[in-house]
Amino acid sequence: MDSSMQPILDKAAVLIEALPYIQRFNRKIIVVKYGGSAMIDEELKKQVIQDVTLLKLVGFKPIIVHGGGKEISRWVEKTGMEPEFINGLRKTDEATMEIAEMVLNKVNKSLVQNVQSLGVNAVGVSGKDGGLLKVEKKLSDGQDIGFVGEITEVNPKIIMDLLDNDFLPIVCPVGMDEQFVTYNINADDAACAIAKAVNAEKLAFLTDIEGVYKDKDDPTSLISELSVEEAKGLIGDGYIGGGMLPKLNNCIDAIEQGVSRVHILDGRIAHCLLLEIFTNKGIGTAIIGDKDMRYYNE
Q: How far apart are CA 91 and CA 36, in angstroms?
A: 19
- Check residue 282 and give left, alpha or beta (phi > 0: left; psi -120 to 50: alpha): left
Model confidence pLDDT, tens digit, residues 194-204: 999 999 999 99
CATH of domain 25-288: 3.40.1160.10
With a cut of 90, say whether residue 130 has pLDDT above it. yes
Model confidence pLDDT, tens digit, residues 95-128: 999 999 999 999 999 999 999 999 999 999 999 9
Confidence of residue 258 (pLDDT cuts 50, 70, 90): confident
Whether 257 and 196 have beta carbons less than 8 Å apart is answered as yes
pLDDT at 270 (0 to 100): 86
Residues annotated within the binding site for substrate are 68-69, 90, 184
Q: How far apart are CA 262 and CA 90, in angstroms?
A: 25
pLDDT at 280 (0 to 100): 65
Return the half-sphere exposure (C-beta side, CA atoms, 13 A cut-off) of residue 192: 21
Residues annotated within the binding site are 68-69, 90, 184
With a cut of 60, say whether residue 157 has pLDDT above it. yes
pLDDT at 219 (0 to 100): 73
pTM across the whole model: 0.88
Model confidence pLDDT, tens digit, residues 214-253: 777 777 788 888 889 988 988 888 778 777 788 888 888 8
Q: How far apart are CA 203 and CA 255, in angstroms?
A: 9
